[in-house]
Amino acid sequence: MLDLRIKSFLTKKSRVFLSYFLLHLFYFIILRFVFVLMFIGQISEGRTGELFKAFYLGTKFDLRLSALMSLPLAFFLLIPRLQLTQTRLLKKIVMLTSTVLLSSVIIIYFIDLGFFSYLGTRISATSIEVVQNPWIALKMAWETYPVIWAFLLIFFIGFVHYQILNRLLREGILYYGHFDWKIKFLSFIFCFLLFAGSLYGKFAHFPLRWSEAYFSTDSFISNFALNPVLNIIDTLKFKNKNFDKEKVQEHYSEVSEFLGVKNPNFKELNFRRDIKNLGNGVKNPPNIVIIVLESLAANKTSLFQNNLDPTPYLKKVANESVLFTRYFTPTEATARGIFATMTGIPDVSSAKTSSRNPLVVNQHTIINQFEGYDKYYFLGGSANWGNIRGIFSYNVDGIHIFEEGSYSSERIDVWGISDLDLFTEANKVLSEKAKRPFVALIQTAGFHRPYTIPEKSGAFQKKTHSLKELKKYSFHSNDEYNSLRFQDYSFGHFMNLAKNESYYNNTIFIVAGDHGLPAPQSVNMPKGLIDLRLTIHHTPLVVHAPFLLKPKVSNKIASQLDIFPTLAGLIGINYTNTTLGRDLFDESLDEQRYAFTYSWHERPRRIGLISDSFYYLESPSLKGLFDYTSNKELKDLSQEFPEEHQKMKNLCEGLYETARYMLFHNPKFKN
């Protein structure tokens, strides 16, 4: 029996709980060793350090499961005067419940071993869907694995656990009156902190999340860090079918044509394009800095005749760059925007964001084809936000993630360090640590409630306008207005720092928003854009590379999905594209330029497609073809332009169904 003998400040009930908790942790750690010993041959050379880190993270997941397993016993122990040793029936119920629960969990572990041996992935809530014929699967398991011996072992473990628990309850609990209230209070606090800490998992603003297991690009390492039972729990919300292959095939022809697939295959749903570039004429491989500015709604910026001039620094850079005035994000959330940028797939999940779905963490991304490049991701807060960590650390080879705890600057609010400090720290890293060409993504978060502007804000000075004037451009308050101005000031500070660094003259800077914002009115934008709620998708896109591109204003339709194909084209590398993004500078694609939009707020769905002149929209409240550039009242033009309406409708539906399919069929691969 596990007995810590901590008599100075723990009651007998507390020691029972602690022993019970540690007993389960012991079981789960042993099972973790069993897993790694069974598949030790899959560990790649040079991954020993990552293996130890995976074991450390896995143990924290095991602690969480141990806490959950201890809940039934904790419930009975908390009831005053309840003596499990004196109530035989209640005692047996507790013991049997615990034994059955543990046996069920061990069965899941055993199934997980077989599942991983067969498919190379851990068991999840959707595993039953993978096994299309359960009878055949059971027969295969019977013929492949020692099923009888496994169940005998589980029965033996259950029997031993029952006996341990029996002794634990018989010897571990005395009458409640033997301890004064101080000891009881300290015991309760200790056990509560242990329980809560095990569930939360870490000393940080965000709790331990499944995405932390995907810190390595090595599949085995990340799978080893997972806990199979918690993996089932984490994937329960995603267990329903998320795509319809028949609908993807129905629209395959127009989608493959739009993407420029040279070897279309209806049955295999081939979307792969092997792009051959001739180079850009630049001798040294250019660096890349992608700056994603929080909520950079186009109508609020100085780039679209905004008299309040909230983004003068962005405007200055845009005047020296290629500015895309019709750049649209597929969705309206930050996590979805980052996912779309990195993968080229619009996040059309209807529940949680795709970055939160363990089933779609495995994604092929063009950034890995930037050979010889260092990769960086800078975020002022925690990469556990939105579980975005998994998208970067699991899919991007050798990426360096800088987040809260990585910086010398102090955290100022829920979003971490200030944008000003973030840009300063990012420039320091890029100028001092980058020894090779690099791709860096810097993501701000300051233009977001609570709109914090730090005391140390350089030369930045707040401005004040009347509420009437602010509302003309959809600002709700001076705090919001000044927060956007501070984000812009921080961006300008970074560009000034970069210009004094050696990397500047050979760097392509991409500046865009993660998404736009709702705008009940905005005097500087067409009425159609406002009424169709396109401001939530509309942000500017600036491509700043004076050594490579001449300043220009482009009105062609651009999408967030196009970022990495465009960058690959600019630096002149050959690459493979398997998703929906396209090179914005590839003139052969200009005859068909569209931007897909999606909103998960409306049921059953709200999807749309933007062209030069029209917006095809399908939503519960509004459906048809509309002129989003008009200042007149909305009018459905589908009868006046039937061919355009049908074409955009088919492509919109096709892109939606294809995106749903791609989320689950775009695994990373070796080039």
- What is the spatial distance between Cα 408 and Cα 425, in angstroms, rounded to a whole number? 8
Q: Return contacts of 197-204, CB within 8 angstroms, 24+ apart.
A: 198/21, 198/63, 198/64, 198/66, 198/67, 199/64, 199/67, 199/68, 201/60, 201/61, 201/63, 201/64, 202/60, 204/382, 204/384, 204/404, 204/405
Task: Provide the pLDDT for residue 281.
Answer: 62
Both structure tokens of 399? 């990426």
- The identity of residue 476, as a single letter, is H
- The identity of residue 442, as a single letter, is I
More confident residue, 189 or 28: 28
Task: Provide the pLDDT for residue 257.
Answer: 95
In which band, very low, low, confident or very high, does the pLDDT at 2 lie, cut at 50, 70 and 90? very low
Task: Provide the pLDDT for residue 380.
Answer: 95
In which band, very low, low, confident or very high, does the pLDDT at 3 lie, cut at 50, 70 and 90? very low
- The identity of residue 444, as a single letter, is T
- What is the spatial distance between Cα 155 and Cα 58, in angstroms, rounded to a whole number? 26
Task: Provide the pLDDT for residue 617.
Answer: 96
Task: Provide the pLDDT for residue 11.
Answer: 67
Task: Provide the pLDDT for residue 485.
Answer: 98
End-to-end CA distance of the chain: 54
Q: pLDDT tens for residues 158-205?
A: 898 888 888 877 765 444 445 566 666 776 787 788 888 888 887 777
H-state helical runs in 236-371: 245-250, 252-259, 312-318, 334-343
Exposed e or buried b for every residue in 114-145, given b needs 16+ CB within 10 A? Answer: bbbeeeebbbbbbbeeebeeeeebeeebeeeb
More confident residue, 143 or 169: 169
The angle subtended at Cα 50 by Cα 201 and Cα 359, nearest 5°, is 65
Peptide bond into 80 cis (omega under 30): no
Residue 130 has pLDDT above 50, yes or no: no
Cβ atoms within 10 Å of 671's Cβ, excluding its own: 10
- The identity of residue 84, as a single letter, is L
Least reliable range by pLDDT among 355-359, 443-447, 475-479 = 355-359
More confident residue, 42 or 318: 318
In which band, very low, low, confident or very high, does the pLDDT at 525 lie, cut at 50, 70 and 90? very high
Task: Provide the pLDDT for residue 508.
Answer: 98
What distances in angstroms separate CA 389 from CA 202, 350, 367, 428, 610, one per listed residue?
Answer: 15, 21, 16, 22, 31
Residue 537 has pLDDT above 80, yes or no: yes
Residue 151 has pLDDT above 80, yes or no: yes
Residue 263 has pLDDT above 80, yes or no: yes
For the segment 456-470, the average pLDDT, to the nearest whole number, is: 95
- What is the spatial distance between Cα 186 and Cα 320, in angstroms, rounded to a whole number? 65
Map residue 204 onto helix, strand or coil: coil
- What is the spatial distance between Cα 649 and Cα 227, in angstroms, rounded to a whole number? 44
Least reliable range by pLDDT among 28-42, 446-460, 490-504, 568-582 = 28-42
Only one residue has tokens 């519960």, namely: 620
For 593, residues 6+ apart whose C-beta sits below 8 A from its C-beta are: 556, 557, 558, 611, 612
For the segment 388-405, the average pLDDT, to the nearest whole number, is: 91
Q: Over pLDDT 70: what percentage of the chain?
A: 88
Residue 299 has pLDDT above 80, yes or no: yes
In which band, very low, low, confident or very high, does the pLDDT at 7 lie, cut at 50, 70 and 90? very low
Task: Provide the pLDDT for residue 603.
Answer: 63
Cβ atoms within 10 Å of 388's Cβ, excluding its own: 25
Please state the separation of Cα 248 from the chain's center in Å: 25
Is the Cα torsion angle 352, 355, 356, 361 positive or negative in sign? positive
Q: What does the DSSP assignment read for 430-452?
A: HHHT--S-EEEEEE---SSTT--
For 101, residues 6+ apart whose C-beta sits below 8 A from its C-beta are: 69, 72
- What is the spatial distance between Cα 346 and Cα 329, in angstroms, rounded to a whole number? 9
User: Which residues make beta-bridge pairs with 624?
Assistant: 617
Q: pLDDT tens for residues 304-344?
A: 999 999 999 999 999 999 999 999 999 988 999 999 999 99
- What is the spatial distance between Cα 196 and Cα 581, in angstroms, rounded to a whole number? 44
Map residue 86 onto helix, strand or coil: coil
pTM passes above 0.85? no
What are the structural domains, with CATH classification, of the chain? 12-238 (no CATH), 246-662 (3.40.720.10)
Task: Provide the pLDDT for residue 126.
Answer: 60
Task: Provide the pLDDT for residue 433.
Answer: 82
For 51, residues 6+ apart whose C-beta sits below 8 A from its C-beta are: 36, 43, 221, 224
Report the mean per-residue pLDDT for the chain: 87
State the angle between helix axes of 88-119 and 228-235 in degrees (0 to 180), rounded to the nearest 10: 80
Both structure tokens of 611? 């062209």
For the segment 145-166, the average pLDDT, to the nearest whole number, is: 85
Both structure tokens of 616? 């095809």
For the segment 534-557, the average pLDDT, to the nearest whole number, is: 97
Both structure tokens of 359? 């089933």
Q: pLDDT tens for residues 405-448?
A: 999 999 998 889 999 999 999 999 999 987 899 999 999 999 98
SS3 content of the chain, % helix, strand, coil (to 5): 50, 10, 40
More confident residue, 82 or 147: 147
In which band, very low, low, confident or very high, does the pLDDT at 6 lie, cut at 50, 70 and 90? very low
Number of H helices, E strands in the chain: 21, 14
**CA nearest neighbour of 661 among 343, 241, 298:** 241
Exposed e or buried b for every residue in 320-346, given b needs 16+ CB within 10 A? Answer: ebbbbbbbbbbbbbbbbbbbbbbbbbb
Task: Provide the pLDDT for residue 10.
Answer: 60
H-state helical runs in 124-279: 127-130, 134-144, 147-172, 181-200, 219-225, 228-235, 245-250, 252-259
